[in-house]
Protein backbone atom coordinates (compact mmCIF):
# COMPACT_ATOMS: atom_id res chain seq x y z
CA UNK A 1 0.00 0.00 0.00
CA UNK A 2 1.38 3.38 -0.97
CA UNK A 3 -0.17 6.79 -1.37
CA UNK A 4 1.39 10.27 -1.88
CA UNK A 5 0.02 11.72 1.38
CA UNK A 6 0.40 8.39 3.20
CA UNK A 7 -2.98 8.14 4.85
CA UNK A 8 -2.85 5.21 7.27
CA UNK A 9 -5.06 2.18 6.78
CA UNK A 10 -7.55 1.55 9.57
CA UNK A 11 -8.54 -1.97 8.53
CA UNK A 12 -8.82 -4.32 5.56
CA UNK A 13 -10.03 -7.82 4.68
CA UNK A 14 -9.37 -10.35 1.93
CA UNK A 15 -12.15 -12.12 0.02
CA UNK A 16 -12.26 -15.21 -2.19
CA UNK A 17 -15.04 -15.78 -4.72
CA UNK A 18 -15.85 -18.64 -7.08
CA UNK A 19 -15.99 -18.27 -10.87
CA UNK A 20 -19.44 -16.60 -10.75
CA UNK A 21 -18.45 -14.27 -7.87
CA UNK A 22 -20.20 -16.11 -5.05
CA UNK A 23 -18.33 -15.33 -1.83
CA UNK A 24 -16.47 -18.39 -0.50
CA UNK A 25 -14.19 -16.98 2.20
CA UNK A 26 -13.89 -13.70 4.06
CA UNK A 27 -10.74 -13.17 6.13
CA UNK A 28 -10.63 -11.69 9.58
CA UNK A 29 -9.97 -7.96 9.76
CA UNK A 30 -6.35 -6.78 9.68
CA UNK A 31 -5.23 -3.51 11.25
CA UNK A 32 -1.55 -3.28 10.30
CA UNK A 33 0.24 -3.06 6.96
CA UNK A 34 3.32 -4.99 8.12
CA UNK A 35 2.41 -8.00 5.96
CA UNK A 36 -0.43 -7.40 3.55
CA UNK A 37 -0.75 -11.01 2.42
CA UNK A 38 -3.27 -13.79 2.84
CA UNK A 39 -2.97 -17.48 1.88
CA UNK A 40 -5.84 -19.62 0.61
CA UNK A 41 -5.58 -23.40 0.74
CA UNK A 42 -7.68 -26.13 -0.83
CA UNK A 43 -8.38 -24.39 -4.14
CA UNK A 44 -9.28 -26.67 -7.03
CA UNK A 45 -6.90 -27.20 -9.94
CA UNK A 46 -7.88 -25.89 -13.39
CA UNK A 47 -10.48 -23.54 -11.98
CA UNK A 48 -11.03 -19.77 -11.99
CA UNK A 49 -11.51 -17.76 -8.80
CA UNK A 50 -11.65 -14.09 -7.93
CA UNK A 51 -9.76 -12.45 -5.09
CA UNK A 52 -10.43 -9.02 -3.66
CA UNK A 53 -9.30 -6.78 -0.81
CA UNK A 54 -11.51 -4.11 0.75
CA UNK A 55 -10.55 -1.69 3.49
CA UNK A 56 -10.69 1.83 4.79
CA UNK A 57 -8.27 4.51 5.93
CA UNK A 58 -8.19 6.20 9.32
CA UNK A 59 -10.15 9.09 7.78
CA UNK A 60 -12.87 6.83 6.36
CA UNK A 61 -11.78 6.67 2.71
CA UNK A 62 -12.88 3.33 1.26
CA UNK A 63 -10.40 1.16 -0.68
CA UNK A 64 -11.26 -1.74 -2.99
CA UNK A 65 -9.00 -3.66 -5.37
CA UNK A 66 -12.00 -4.80 -7.36
CA UNK A 67 -12.31 -8.42 -8.48
CA UNK A 68 -9.00 -9.93 -9.60
CA UNK A 69 -9.46 -13.10 -11.66
CA UNK A 70 -6.99 -15.91 -11.00
CA UNK A 71 -6.58 -19.38 -12.48
CA UNK A 72 -5.27 -22.26 -10.36
CA UNK A 73 -2.60 -24.57 -11.78
CA UNK A 74 -0.87 -27.17 -9.63
pLDDT at 7: 83
Q: How confident is the model at residue 65 (pLDDT cuts 50, 70, 90)?
A: very high
Reported for 30-37, long-range contacts at CB under 8 A and 24+ positions apart, including other chains, are 33/1, 33/9, 36/1, 36/12
Report the pLDDT averaged over residues 30-38: 88
pLDDT of 3 over the 90 cut: no
**Which phi and psi angles does 10 have, rounded to 5°?**
-85, -50
Q: How confident is the model at residue 2 (pLDDT cuts 50, 70, 90)?
A: low
pLDDT of 23 over the 60 cut: yes
CA 2: distance to chain centroid?
Answer: 16
CA distance 13 to 49: 17
Q: Dihedral sign, CA of 3, 8, 13, 36?
A: positive
Global confidence as pTM:
0.87
Amino acid sequence: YEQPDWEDIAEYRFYLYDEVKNLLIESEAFYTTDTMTYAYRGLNDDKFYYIRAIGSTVNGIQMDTGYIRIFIIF
